[in-house]
């Protein structure tokens, strides 16, 4: 599983994995691989939900380039 999966991609793949496990009578190795992938995907999704650190910034133009600076609403 790629670490760069977006939340949407991860959820979509997880849904697919669960469906396959639910419907198919898969050989042990295959079921095992799916199961492990599913566990990794749920971890990834939770990490995306928990991982982001709240940040509010503003874009300022400096010498034609855009730079970010912290922003505090008044």
Instruction: By CB under 8 A, name the binding residues for other proteins.
Output: 6-8, 11, 14-15, 17-18, 21-22, 25-29, 31-32, 35-36, 38-39, 42-43, 45-46, 48-61, 66, 68, 71, 73-74
Rounded to a whole number of angstroms, the minimum distance from the CB of residue 3 to other proteins is 14
What is the Cα–Cα distance from 35 to 52, expressed in whole angstroms? 27
Rounded to a whole number of angstroms, the minimum distance from the CB of residue 45 to other proteins is 5
Rounded to a whole number of angstroms, the minimum distance from the CB of residue 41 to other proteins is 8
Q: In terms of residues, how long is the chain? A: 74
Whose Cβ is closer to other proteins: residue 3's or residue 48's?
Answer: 48
Cα→Cα distances 45→9, 21, 25, 41, 54, Å: 10, 19, 27, 6, 17
What is the Cα–Cα distance from 22 to 17, expressed in whole angstroms? 9
């Amino acid at each position: 599983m790629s670490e760069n999966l977006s939340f949407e991609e991860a959820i979509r793949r997880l849904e697919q994995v669960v469906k396959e496990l639910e419907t198919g009578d898969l050989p042990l190795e295959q079921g095992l691989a799916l199961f492990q992938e599913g566990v990794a995907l749920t971890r990834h999704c939770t990490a995306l939900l928990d991982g982001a650190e709240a940040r509010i910034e503003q874009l300022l133009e400096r010498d034609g380039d855009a730079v970010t600076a912290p922003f505090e609403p008044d």
